[in-house]
Structure 1
Amino acid sequence: MGMKLSQFNFELPNNLLAEYPSEDRDEARLMVLNRKENTIEHKKFKDLINYFEPDDVMVLNNTKVFPARLFGNKEKTGARIEVFLLRELNSETRLWDVLVDPARKIRIGNKLYFGDDESLVAEVIDNTTSRGRTLRFLYDGSYEEFRNKLNELGETPLPKYIKRDVEPEDADRYQTIYAKNEGAVAAPTAGLHFSKHLLKRLEIKGVDLAEVTLHVGLGTFNPVEVEDLSKHKMDSEEAEIEKAATVVINNAIENKRRICAVGTTVMRALESSVSSNGRLNEFKGWTNKFIFPPYDFSIANCMITNFHTPKSTLLMMVSAFAGHDLMERAYKEAIKEEYQFYSYGDAMLII
């Protein structure tokens, strides 16, 4: 048997869970791990430009977070119900996969009303899990108007660990500056540290940018609960890798350049579509790939990631990439140096 769940457990002080993002995106702290030299350095995120040369490639996840958290009222009783939109099942019939809270009050056939004017109504069609439901939204306008209505009524789905209320700037800061394909319920957080200025500097230096899409699902926050990691089942997430990205990335593989996956979501997308000769294929579909040590990575030879919570699949993937011993050392140091963890936290560059 390979590595066990208990090898990914550690004590994380509560004060290191980032409640707010850094003041400026690229001023977050950056820990740099060098796998070959077995070294750890402490930098600022904007210093990462010094680790890249012309024709190296940065691979970004251009998914866009939609305001997935809605608050509605149940017909008759008027009870306040939180509805978390997970994914659209059918755009014609406006069927959605959602979580509801409190779930015990929501049964098939119930209607929920949203907005002060109750202009959006949803009917509960099915139970999927204890908290999961299928809703059909009833709305008179076009599909575009319906989506605009959801955006207007919804709020930024900050991760549950953030106990404060959502603030206006969260809508901007819980989104990468290059986000464009709507579909994620959680941000690809490593990308939150890129500022327009830093992207421009990378471009001027001759670093190529490639974009892929992986719509991050809530499953990204699920802790692993089985000691034998091979028994853990990942939630599926929708991904797309277009031809343009494969050309840039495969060219960099041929030329032995540095290929940097910005975030675990990018790494997961890339590793879900590898050809038999170790090149990247185009991809459109769903992936439930779970990467844990030991694992041989085929495409990226460098990654940027945030600091993850104990027992998370994200920590396991990063350990597979950096090596478990180096990762343990890095996390001990991160806690000692009071790096900020999780979605709004600091970053790590692994080369």
Structure 2
Amino acid sequence: MSNAEVPREPQTFVLWREAQDTRIRTRLGGIYYLLAWLLTWLFSDNPTQLLAWGLAGVGLFALLFALRLLHHLPAQKTPQTLRTWLDRHWGLVLLTALAWGLVHAWALNDPAFASSWLVATLSTIAFSTALTFNFSMRKGRAIVALLLLYLPGLIALALDWHEQHAILTTLALYLSYLVLALNRSHREYHNTLTLELELREQQQSLEQLSRTDSLTQLGNRYLFNSLFPAMLANAQRQGEPMSLVLLDIDFFKRVNDEHGHTCGDACLSAFAERMRQVFRRGSDALLRLGGEEFGVLMPNTTLEQASVLAESFRLELTQQGFNVQGITLPLTSSLGVGCFDPQRDDNAEAFFKRVDDALYMAKGTGRNRLVQA
């Protein structure tokens, strides 16, 4: 599964990870219950006399195994769907444990299994051990499954205390060990899950940093290079317009030369904040492309709509300028605005160049103006 398909929200990720682990660990486990029953039945004193029961057991454990295999993870990964899936899958696990626990008790009580009761007992020990170390993600449910595996057999042994007290005591002690081991395994599983969550959060933070301009907190050129063609391709598929606004702060070098780079950085941050106030639709992507050049990707936006917003930004900036560190700076901006046109633009690069040419035309014809591509 790709990273894009892994849930990003922590609560959903925890449930998704648990469901993934549960699914993987139960996929083949069911076949061993079927094999254990076949060995218990076929190594009994007279398998032919138990033919009907033998085939019924084969049918039951084969059905439980098939249900495990066919119980696929939900396509929609939400907390509710994942909880529902986990509840149903644990239902299959518990039902299988109960079925085997009853088989074990039957083998211990019925003389027909005198030759194979040890097979059933060893299988119970194997299943309970595997359950302890593989299904510790839900401690309460795992304990219930252990009891369903063990209690029927322990009760059967208790009914014949004088003959079976040694085996009963040994199995009971082993059950107590499994409960203690389950507690430890449960802690280790959730410690590992917590560590994985922390690593994912760090990875997401680093990814965010790699795509964000540290000064303005807008998207950076790296994000633009990946986002621009993707948004354009989506607009073409949907048959919707896609506009691009490029902005450049006029004579920005003078600010750095006359007032210092600290003042220049403050201007860039203020410029970005002004962009957020004007281009505030949730679908717009605001980016710093480098230096004093900025861009806005505007999906489902016509050239006229983009030009109105861009012109309002230019006029507001012209009228108000910036008040930075107690200094009023009458800054202006040149803008190029364009809408993708499949008749003119062969690809994203051609579209960008057309809008970039409009920006340079705005700068070359006096600055503080908007030119449509």
> What's the TM-score, normalizing by structure 2?
0.23
Higher RCO structure (Cα 8 Å, ≥6 apart): 1
Mark the structure with the bigger radius of gyration.
Answer: 2
Q: Which has the higher strand share?
A: 1
Give the number of the structure whose residues are more often helix, by fraction. Answer: 2
